[in-house]
Amino acid sequence: MRSAYADKVHELVSRCLQARDLAYCPYSRFPVGAAILTAEGAIITGCNVENASYGLTVCAERTAVQRAVAEGHRRFLAIAATGRGAPAPDIRDRFVGPCGACRQVLMEVRVPRFGSDWTVYLTKPDGTYKETSLSELLPLAFSPEHLKLN
């Protein structure tokens, strides 16, 4: 991550862990939290919110993006995401990345009007994290650039 924001990484990871604890996930019992760092230095959080009609469930990463955009943010530097699974107790020993749909949403807000490639912190339940990038998580992605008309 850019050195000017390196001190924010600990706070970003901490906030994603806190957001995870607010998740509403009675069906999967797999709480997920996310925290986005904006170019202005704000941290916007989100958690997964499940629905009995499973298709209406919203993931933590998408919740955070939607909140950030609704609050007027348009440039993003990083996102931290974490999960803790009751059905998968061994999750504490693995990094879990955003689902495919969330990766695509993050790609949408990665384009020039929203910023550049994101730094992604895959975070274990104990707070340890692994740094990667959105382009590593979603190579050869479909993006708004593909919809430009000639």
Annotated binding site for Zn(2+): 59, 99, 102
Which residues carry a binding-site annotation for substrate? Answer: 48-54
How many Cα atoms within 13 Å fall on the side-chain side of residue 38?
A: 17
Structure token digits, residue 123: 């975070």
**Residue of 61, 71, 131, 136 marked active site:** 61
What is d(CA 115, CA 38) in angstroms, rounded to the nearest whole number?
9
Q: Is 61 a catalytic residue?
A: yes
Among residues 63, 72, 148, the alpha carbon closest in space to that of 106 is found at: 63
The b-or-e profile of 114-143 (16+ CB within 10 A means b, else e) is bbeebbbbbbbbeeebeeeebeebbeebee
Structure token digits, residue 83: 């999960």
Active site members: 61
